[in-house]
Structure 1
Amino acid sequence: MAARAYWQGQLKLALVSIPIEVYPATRSGAALAFHQIHEPSGKRVRYEKVAPGVGPVDRDEIVKGYEVSKGNYVLLDDAEIEAVKIESRKTLDLVQFVDAREIDVLYYEKPYFVVPADDLAEEAYVVLREALRQTGKVGVGQLAVRGREQLVSIKPCGRGLVMEVLRYADEVHKAQGYFRDIADSEPDADLLELATTLIDNKTAPFRAAEFHNRYVDALHRLIDKKARSKTGKRILEDVAEPAAGSGKGNVIDLMAALKKSVGEGGGASASKSSGRSKAAKSSAPAKPAARSRKRA
């Protein structure tokens, strides 16, 4: 079955219009859905719409309400909400271009593939793709879909373009509130060198297929076991024992831990880094006293 386009229309750059189709680039993961079951009868638990002091209510008597103060609501029916929806336009205007690094990773929400709608659109599509690639820029615009307006970016991806839905500013927390109590100081040179050596030793190409959701895999095994057993008895999956010494608190010798980590995966790199560490120790500044952290 052919994939269904999320949006079809014109990608517009000034007076140039490129017919495009937009397709989801992701799909839902392998999460398992559970239902609530009444154990004595084996029947699924259903939910009733209930109003306090009234009891069960009919669905056709339910409207949406926005709470303006405690217990006070402004009531809106579906027709009123529908009337303020943004009209879906068939044009995505690229109104601004920014350096790719200017958009913080926190703003990216969901990617979509953008493809030319036909052969005639391909030439202009390729020109835009290569222009974005050469300049290192990302196109930004707003797209009206299903009554809502989305902030989006357009950037090159291999032979094509990717559109990414962006979060609006009021949807993103300011990082400073969470990081402000972290000291603005340089780490010791010897510790930093050991850490960078460890990172170098463990650097490899990213292949998403090599990673699996072990929790979902374990749930599937558990469900298969219970389905085959037909006894209804509880089955507990084996849990790996915690590493030795993990119960002694979180105070560790950072230098020793880094050296051991580099030694396990680094070989010659470990001795090289260790030699440089000794020289760095003599010139390393005194460490400031530990401070208690507060959450924002």
Structure 2
Amino acid sequence: MASRAVWKGQLRLSLVAIPVEIHPATKSGARVSFRQIHGPSGKPVRYEKTVQGIGPIKTDDIMKGYETGADGYILIEPQEVDAIKLETKKTLELVQFVDASEISPLYYDKPYYVVPTDDLAGDAYRVVRDALRADQKVGLGQLAMRGKEYLCAIRPCGDGLLLETLHYADEVREAEPLFSRIEDAKADKELLSVARDLIKRKTAPFDAAAFEDGYNKALRDLIDRKLRNRKTPRASKEGSDSARTSGERENVIDLMDALRKSLKTEPAKKPAKPRGSGSRKQA
């Protein structure tokens, strides 16, 4: 099945704007999934929005509620939330560059492929990719999709670019309360030597294909056996879902001119100020 873009817009580096689209780098359909089926009738179980004491309600009557504590909720129309204007809905601007080693693994969330939308965008796209690769840097920016603004890191990946969404600082739980119970003492030297020898013996280049999801395989084996068994209960499938995609084309400004102007107008990035005593500790 063809990949469907989850975001379309511009990747911007100062005055250089590159029309791109973002695709998930992982496949949710690779694992077995089930639907709930009503056994006696064989029909899919559907979820209906209801209100206690009222029963089923219309979707148009649903508002967004923000909990204010014991007082209850403040009510906001969905249209008011949708009306919030963010540049990051259509533009992912690279505002800072860092060494990849500076980002703790704790912050990484989900990977996406970034691809140019047409051949005209290819030249600018390759320049950004090769510049990041040459300087071994990761670009940082933000984009809005699916009702949330994400912090993003962009790096070279083969012939293209990989975007990884990052957790914000206030989304990362501090490790100290959990690790504080671990005794702060050095390991036994002899035991440490044996452990290091085992690690060296098992060290090899990473290959994800060498690992298999055993639980998923067992589920597929179970399904295969059920399919071959004529006594397995069956239910008819009702309807199918359809999805529509939409896109838009953006113009790419002259690349060399934009890069030269960017060097003249873009101020150098100032080092970040040290955070106070309240900064988070990294694992």
Q: Does the TM-score normalized on the shorter chain lie above 0.5?
A: yes
Indicate the residue corresponding to 1:201 in structure 2: 201
Residues of 2 paired with 1:173 and 1:89: CA distance? Answer: 28
> How many pairs were matched up?
233
* Runs of 4+ that moved beyond 6 A: none
Q: Secondary structure at the match of 2:133?
A: helix
Indicate the residue corresponding to 2:98 in structure 1: 98
Q: CA offsets per residue over residues 234-283 of structure 1, 9 Å max, x none?
A: xxxxxxxxxxxxxxxxxxxxxxxxxxxxxxxxxxxxxxxxxxxxxxxxxx
Higher mean C-alpha displacement, 98-107 vs 121-130: 121-130
Indicate the residue corresponding to 1:211 in structure 2: 211
Q: CA offsets per residue over residues 169-200 of structure 1, 9 Å max, x none?
A: 22221222221221222212211111111111
- The share of aligned pairs that are identical, in percent, is 56
Indicate the residue corresponding to 1:251 in structure 2: none
Higher mean C-alpha displacement, 212-221 vs 17-26: 17-26
Residues 80-229 of structure 1: pairs in structure 2 closer than 5 A: 80-84=80-84, 86=86, 89-145=89-145, 148-229=148-229
Residues 56-95 of structure 1: pairs in structure 2 closer than 5 A: 56-70=56-70, 72-84=72-84, 86=86, 89-95=89-95
Indicate the residue corresponding to 1:276 in structure 2: none
| Larger Cα-atom Rg | 1
Residues of 2 paired with 1:145 and 1:2: CA distance? Answer: 21
CA-based RMSD: 2.8
- The 3 A distance-change label for structure 1 pair 232 and 29 is closer
**Structure 2 runs not aligned, ≥5 long:** 234-283
Indicate the residue corresponding to 2:6 in structure 1: 6
Indicate the residue corresponding to 1:260 in structure 2: none
Q: Which amino acid counterpart does residue 100 of structure 1 have in structure 2?
A: A
CA contact (8 A) 1:85 1:148 kept: no
Q: CA offsets per residue over residues 190-216 of structure 1, 9 Å max, x none?
A: 111111111111122222222222112
Q: Secondary structure at the match of 2:204?
A: coil
- The 3 A distance-change label for structure 1 pair 119 and 222 is closer
Q: Which amino acid counterpart does residue 206 of structure 1 have in structure 2?
A: F
Q: Which amino acid counterpart does residue 62 of structure 1 have in structure 2?
A: I
Higher mean C-alpha displacement, 14-23 vs 107-116: 14-23
Q: CA deviation at 1:119?
A: 4.5
- The 3 A distance-change label for structure 1 pair 138 and 70 is same
Residues of 1 paired with 2:220 and 2:106: CA distance? Answer: 32
Residues of 2 paired with 1:213 and 1:14: CA distance? Answer: 43
CA contact (8 A) 2:88 2:142 kept: no
- Which gives a bigger RCO, structure 1 or 2 (Cα 8 Å, sep 6+)? 2
Q: Secondary structure at the match of 1:131?
A: helix
CA contact (8 A) 1:88 1:147 kept: no
- The 3 A distance-change label for structure 1 pair 133 and 170 is same
- The 3 A distance-change label for structure 1 pair 64 and 232 is same
Indicate the residue corresponding to 1:257 in structure 2: none
- The 3 A distance-change label for structure 1 pair 130 and 54 is closer
CA contact (8 A) 1:86 1:147 kept: no
Residues of 2 paired with 1:46 and 1:62: CA distance? Answer: 18
- The 3 A distance-change label for structure 1 pair 112 and 37 is closer
Q: Secondary structure at the match of 1:203?
A: coil
Residues of 2 paired with 1:114 and 1:49: CA distance? Answer: 37
Q: CA offsets per residue over residues 130-180 of structure 1, 9 Å max, x none?
A: 332333321111123355422111112223221111121222212222212
Indicate the residue corresponding to 2:268 in structure 1: none
Given the two structures, how large is their TM-score scaled by the length of structure 1?
0.67
